[in-house]
Structure 1
Amino acid sequence: MEYEGRICRPPMERSSFMLPVMAGCSYNKCKFCNLFRSIKYRELPLSQIEEELIRVKNLNGNLSKIFLGDGSAFDLKTEHLLKILNLIHKYFPDCNCINMDATITGILQKTDAELARLYTHGIRTLYIGIESGLEDVLLFMNKDHTRAEAERAISKIQEHGYSFGAHIMTGIAGKGRSIENAEATADFLNRTKPIRVVNFSMFLHKEVPLYKDIRAEKYQAASETENLIEEKRLIELLGNETCPIFYDGFHDYLEFRVRGTLPKDREKMLKQIQAKIESYKPMQNDYAFVNGECTPSLEKSDGTGKVWKTA
């Protein structure tokens, strides 16, 4: 199948077969996101999905784990999603783990009976863009949920056996709010108990609505140092012995990543972050914009050029 747009899936799904069932994102309104902004949302026909499954089967593929793309496949109508799941089991009866992205609104729109049926048909983990534990930040960033709605939706899927992975963004609360956001987000995560937390530390896209807010001085971006300080406080608070959480933090602008299981690896991870804070102090007010594709097009906010040079 020819893939449309950017490949976007959680890092823990890198060994899964990615089966596109939609193009783009059905919501696509978050102020900071440009992953699917240029793609008109559409559901792929079942015939196209079946053709891809047949193609892989004919190549002697043996799929045991599948990730459904693109953005928020769980938001598809339940009956349509069940048809896709039935096709998967028709060609790959040994597939016992089907995961995908979800939105809080999409979860809340499904009944308990629908959630039970979908779990029975093989869906196991949902990845949810939580982003922040602060109510006003969720509202400003045009997320599709409140904190209370997120807690209710997560409790609902967990009652039916699903696990969930949380996506967050250090820096999303803006300049001067790193500690406040870390503490609110840690509180939310400790209450909802995700199996994994992935932090895509925020950098700023010139082609998204948030950039207009920056230009209009309605939003001040946090520096990369602030993002690291926020992550340090988050890791200080996240996870406990009775409910360990795997944490994976990405700072694309700094080419820095910290990961481990909390609380077991807490001290090691805190030392890594503190060392990065110390080494980065000379550029403590620096942050980056993106103009075009993500990593290759990171540009320094002061206009001095690209973050990484290409050969």
Structure 2
Amino acid sequence: MAPGGSTCKEVIVSHPTVADYDIKAENNNSLAKTSIGLAGKHGICSNNGVNELLECPVCRSLMYPPIHQCPNGHTLCSNCKNRVHNCCPTCRYDLGNIRCLALEKVAESLELPCKYQGLGCHDIFPYYSKLNHEQHCHYRPYNCPYAGSECSVTGDIPTLVAHLKNDHKVDMHNGCTFNHRYVKSDPNEVENATWMLTVFNCFGRQFCLHFEAFQLGMALVYMAFLRFMGDDNEAKKFSYSLEVGANGRKLTWQGVPRSIRDSHRKVRDSQDGLIIQRNLALYFSGGDRQELKLRITGRIWKEE
């Protein structure tokens, strides 16, 4: 029986001890210094050997404290410790609550490049700052802004514009003003909502105009809003207006486009756009109120 815990499965193992990891990490640190020849103000730059030590064997992601280990020295991250039900995935011994403090100390001395280095980010970060940077890195890929279906495509803006045009068959328009007519034969249907997206090329940038039906509490509403294909700090340089109406009445909206860094659902649920109640939408549609016919006009301008 392994010290400090019961076994999940009877096995005979011969694996590195905690000391072995410490020695190997120290050797890799020395190798990183000599083979790369770089030292940062926070510590040494890592090479692949050290990266392998810090890679969780289950999820293959870099590990951050608390780093756990079994009595035989096998390590894994805290998220995966719960996933494997406290049983070491390598030797099947009970993991217990042992921290690998030596490996955590090694990680503290490292500096690593951003994982988006290939996309243009050339900064080096202390190991424990790297994850936070990557969550906000300007070079990280964007998610596809198309709504109404689950799309896992990511990429830079030119890639996504081509993807929207070729794969989602989205309408593309040049210009900063628009006049769109939305027609729906059954205005009571929400399950297959009016998912519509148009992309505008304006001021050399791209904007996504969304129009859809959804349930807001007990009421069916229609909503139009604009998203900017870029980061939030750039989106704030622009403004837009929307207008819908008929029979001498109109609704107007003016706002700032939201970055596609914010998900479509987040923008929609925040109600940051032009919202049209169903009864008013049908009034604007005219006729026998059995068909939705809305004309939405708008413009985009750049703030000085």
TM-score, normalised to structure 1, is 0.22
More strand by share: 2
**Which structure has the bigger radius of gyration?**
2
More helix by share: 1
TM-score, normalised to structure 2, is 0.22
